[in-house]
Amino acid sequence: AKIHIYDINLDSALFYLDKNKELIQKHHSNDIALVSDNYFYRSMAYHYADQFYIAVEEIKKGIAILENYSGNIPAELAKNYFQLSTYLNEIAAHDEALEYQKKWLEVRIKEFGPDSYIAGDSYQSIGITYSYKKEDHLALEYYNKALQIFSNEVVIPYNRLAVVNSNLGFCYDRLN
């Protein structure tokens, strides 16, 4: 049975994650994705316990493992960059969040191309962070990139179009 860390308390979550780490070290120590995932889930446990700074430190440990690995695991790296940027935005470390969001975008463009809706999601997230910083001109630039991508999709992602249009409207209102 899968244990969801948001259903149990922090001490229990960390206990099971430590057990998981022991098993990984014993049986799968060469599986970099599994090793880094343990830090990912530890960060989520701390996040759900409102211990954001510890969550940031935990996920950075997993990212360091992934970045130092010579193999090719872009999906894991992208997932961790995105999650870290979310934590950083929650503690108002927006400049550092942008740093990781741009790394996230770079990985996604390399994997899916610059015109994929997946890259559009990254542009939108970067725009949101610029909005948090009240740098609306930069936010608009990224929202417009997302809008252009979402508008050109063969299968129109209406939810994405709705969100990016809402964000664009918010920025225009604030600028006027």
Do the beta carbons of residue 32 and residue 43 sit within 8 Å?
Answer: no
Q: What is the three-class DSSP state of 17?
A: helix
Do the beta carbons of residue 108 and residue 118 sit within 8 Å?
Answer: yes
pLDDT tens per residue across span 45-76: 899 888 899 999 999 999 999 998 877 688 88
d(CA 107, CA 17): 28
pLDDT tens per residue across span 78-90: 999 999 999 999 9
pTM, to two decimals: 0.82
Q: How many CB atoms lie within 10 A of CB 4?
A: 10
CA pseudo-torsion sign 83, 77, 119, 99:
positive
d(CA 170, CA 154): 27
Residue located via tokens 């935005």:
89
